[in-house]
Chain A
């Protein structure tokens, strides 16, 4: 379990990193926290010719708030997100989600940019980006691109980034004061990637959803912003309405099989999460009791 030989460059600026990426293209890999890349290299699943370490680019690290927009630098560590007062105040969903990402040692190194660029379909952060309507900012030889989260993730470990591009930041609209959220996932052990998870954000008025965004993860080749959420918006939610939404959700899912779960189990658990989410956000325990099967 030793990586094959590779070249190493520590980028001194974003421009420097981009120059190296342009020169090497697919033969280079960006190194951020290294928590996904390094294990893959040690297992010789990837063997880049050059590692471009962007770890020293402090300008890419940190959270700032301006004009109703939260900007999170790509090198912001998972642990930073957990501690950030701006995140706690304006994107509490993300704070809840990050607590489920791996373990403290990994959260101390792993970065939001690395996580999004890695695009594991079972990862928490991509789903949060969908739910929160994030814009992902990439810089490449041709300048900056702003990519909506729902266009950024394109498949298992696949994103809209080109090999010459660097993910530099994400922007999140500050959530309205009245908004509430729900985050839950099923994992065999604390810190494991989820079997199925849900990151939801909602506005509730008079016991009804005025807005509901349901970001499911580990339910297909990428996170899913469920369209079936619309069935629950602006209606009085009954068990019947909920189970209709659940079967619409079923149609949207295309879960994969792995050692933890069959597609059938993932579908079942996604529906359990939907029920729990709706019942909790609407403070309606009756909905949960009725739909547990």
Chain B
């Protein structure tokens, strides 16, 4: 890792001699996971626990004529077979809209379909049995009579008058439309020397988590309380929604989230089958477990990125970008997802296109339409890969047209590093970005000129390599502007409580969650650094609405920036409280004392004065020996939310170096570089691995991943053999570099890093493929870039 402080600051609470900030330290949870002592939802066994299997619709759109359950109910182990109508006595339907997304509409969705199924995979009945196998056996004996209805599958014709309307009550299949017009777009195009247009097509894909979605719901009728064990990114959101639709108070719902095997945004939503599981537990008055299998995960985990986006760019011969224009169309399935809605992705595309560049001339339209396919919603880097591929694809096409080097055109148009604060063409406010510093660093890391020379030499030998560059911005640390203002009870603030136990160890409860990205580690690092306590003495508790402060959880790259700042502030208060008591005990003053390595020491000479364990002993067991009037508070709580900027934007740039075989259409990724700026880096290794993991998901989108639907709305590759996730053998080395521009909104200065890799990887690869294809005079603006797509573009087949 390389990093440079663009903004050196005065010594803060974090720059202490024994600080863990900026250091690669092993995660505290590593041993637990490596020794197989993690606790995933599938590991949970409760007394009298039953298993539910959902019978799912084989049709994309059909009326349910009848459900015959009597044979299934007779089968061994079966506890209940429940239809949507029966379940609706315990749980109410929902509508996935937010008031700040003006005009967004959707239809009421039920936990289990009532009367009609709207996508292949929607649950039509729940079979609850003593074991999963018995429930599956019985599900084969539930007979459902369907009357097939016309399936609306092609987003391009979804709005045609001839296309049936999926939800008659909505009037049409348009869920949401946003139009944006800034600057003087027509004039800018008129004044351009070249105007280039292209249509960008993105494959619908999904985030494939190692651990599928899973939930155990345990309704305790005696306590009138529901405990939900679930692998979720947002426990308090789940608590709110479950209570709302089951007619309970939030205090009657506890959500516990232990270890989670990957989320990527897949587990930040409320799914119908999870709601059905909560309701079944209440209905049957016993614990019920639901673990999605791989096939149903493909059919029901949210999909994303099914977009067709027309783009247009105007450019002067000197490289000045004059204007961007886009027209984006996306199909989201039959319902807007709950509660974050399925309009956010298209909305983000409009927000982000052209974002790294100076031009203020920008026109956009985004339309979001219903279709009879699985629901789409937010997946890692929501909207970013679309916006980045369109923007960076257009910039490269413009460069090609005026015969300018792709790096040069970016140098001439990226917002200058000293131009901040400023706003994007869509009106987003930037506090401080570092496009030019990151680009300069990238060019140096990849040795751009040498690579270009190598490319030219190889081309002469009929070896076709390509270089692709993609600048990007990333939305992180969202304030209430994301969901709260739209009426969703999704908290944008987070809280941390820190306390000293009776032996001087530290217990820290935080409302952010851990899905493998290192929330536990970063929290312990911050708390340990501020307090002067070694990390092995800091225990972090998260994922339990009964036992953590209230907060948003982990999504939109917010854990470090928001939860981390709350931890910092809470630890500062606790530190002060500790020094106050210590000063009283030692007959000193707090300003003369510090805490280093689990002991209170003199500031001047570092001489140890009293161990934290000894101080805790006095506080908890011999308070009688303290001077009168001293009431120690060895616990402190703080909350944090960004107020000044709606989002802390980060920025960066990626590059791909690859080889394309024009005979076979196969692409071999040779190398990938990322330089990003997430502000203060707490743990370099965790940040780098977030970037790499994100890149890999972006490379999957670029080359492999696609949910293939047929024209009848059947998902035809719902398994791990046919849906191709990227595997290590195909992945290149990924070099990560950093420029560090801390946000001034917090003392910590950390912005998010979780989505940067995914944001730009596919754009870099697509640009590199088109660079490799230059001698063949063809351009591809469709991903995944499969051999079939490439050979077709080359006219070889």
Contact = CB atoms under 8 A, between A and B. Distances in A.
Given A43-B295, A272-B664, A2 B727 contact: no
A259 B708 contact: yes
B662 A2 contact: no
A195 interface: yes
B184 interface: no
Nearest to B293: A1
A292 B661 CA distance: 10
Contact of B137 (A4, A265, A269): A4
A191 interface: yes
A85 B722 CA distance: 35
B787 interface: yes
Interface in A171-190: 186, 188-190
Interface string A243-271: 00000000000000001111011011100
A247 B796 CA distance: 15
B293 A261 contact: no
B716 interface: yes
B373 to A, nearest CB: 17
A49 B704 CA distance: 38
A9 interface: no
B316 interface: no
B704 A189 contact: yes
A186 B791 CA distance: 14
B664 A190 contact: no
B136 interface: yes
B67 interface: no
A244 B791 CA distance: 22
A33 to B, nearest CB: 17
Contacts of A259: 708, 716-717, 722
Contacts, number: 67
Nearest to B462: A289
Nearest to B706: A259
Given A190-B727, A292-B663, A265 B133 contact: no
A293 interface: yes
Contacts of A195: 787
A5 interface: yes
Contact of A265 (B136, B294, B662, B788): B788
Contacts of A267: 797
A72 to B, nearest CB: 27
B797 A264 contact: yes
Contacts of B730: 189-190
B666 interface: yes
B423 interface: no
A265 B730 CA distance: 22
A193 B721 CA distance: 9
What is the size category of the interface that chain B forms with chain A? 20 to 34
Contacts of A3: 133
A267 B797 CA distance: 9
Contacts of A193: 721
B13 interface: no
A261 B729 contact: no
A271 to B, nearest CB: 9
A48 to B, nearest CB: 15
B797 A262 contact: yes
Interface string A186-219: 1011111101000000000000000000000000
A264 B787 CA distance: 12
Interface in B713-730: 716-717, 719, 721-722, 724, 726-727, 729-730
Contacts of B726: 189
B788 A188 contact: no
Nearest to A2: B133
Nearest to B666: A186
Interface in A33-61: 43-44
Nearest to A258: B722
A289 B462 CA distance: 9
A3 B788 CA distance: 35
B717 to A, nearest CB: 6
B712 interface: no
Nearest to B135: A2
**Chain A interface residue number, banded:** 20 to 34
Contacts of A269: 664
A56 B721 CA distance: 29
B796 A293 contact: yes
B137 A186 contact: no
A147 to B, nearest CB: 29
Interface in A266-280: 267-269, 272
A186 B664 contact: yes
A188 B787 CA distance: 8
Interface string B430-462: 000000000000000000000000000000001
B295 A5 contact: no
A269 B140 CA distance: 42
Given A189-B724, A268-B796, A289-B462, A262 B788 contact: yes
Interface string B686-728: 0000000000000000001000100000001101011010110
Contacts of B727: 189-191
Contact of B788 (A44, A190, A261): A261
Contact of A272 (B136, B663, B716, B719): B663
B465 to A, nearest CB: 17
Nearest to A196: B664
B132 interface: yes
A259 B136 CA distance: 29
Contact of B294 (A1, A186, A190, A191): A1
A44 B663 CA distance: 39
B133 A189 contact: no
B208 to A, nearest CB: 14
A1 B295 contact: yes
Interface in A145-175: none
A292 B794 CA distance: 12
Contacts of A289: 462
Interface string B758-797: 0000000000000000000000000000111001000011
B691 to A, nearest CB: 22
B708 to A, nearest CB: 6
A5 B665 CA distance: 45
Contact of A188 (B132, B137, B662, B724): B724
A265 B716 CA distance: 20
B132 A2 contact: yes
A43 B726 CA distance: 23
B133 A268 contact: no
Contact of B729 (A2, A190, A260, A268): A190
A186 to B, nearest CB: 6
Contacts of B724: 188-189, 192
A218 to B, nearest CB: 13
**Residue of A2, A190, A262, A289 contacting most chain B CB atoms (<10 Å):** A2
A44 B53 CA distance: 15
A230 B716 CA distance: 40
A43 B664 CA distance: 33
B787 A261 contact: yes
A5 B704 contact: no
Interface string B621-657: 0000000000000000000000000000000000000
B710 to A, nearest CB: 11
Given A190-B727, A269-B664, 20 more contacts: A1-B293, A2-B133, A4-B133, A44-B140, A186-B664, A188-B704, A188-B787, A189-B727, A189-B729, A189-B730, A190-B730, A192-B721, A261-B787, A261-B788, A262-B797, A264-B797, A265-B788, A265-B791, A272-B664, A293-B796
18 contacts: A1-B294, A2-B132, A2-B136, A3-B133, A4-B133, A44-B140, A186-B666, A188-B786, A188-B787, A189-B729, A191-B727, A260-B786, A260-B787, A267-B797, A268-B791, A269-B664, A272-B663, A292-B663
Interface of B: 132-133, 136-137, 140, 293-295, 462, 662-666, 704, 708, 716-717, 719, 721-722, 724, 726-727, 729-730, 786-788, 791, 796-797
Shortest 9 CB-CB contacts between residues of A and residues of B: A190-B729, A1-B293, A2-B133, A264-B797, A268-B797, A265-B797, A272-B663, A292-B663, A189-B727
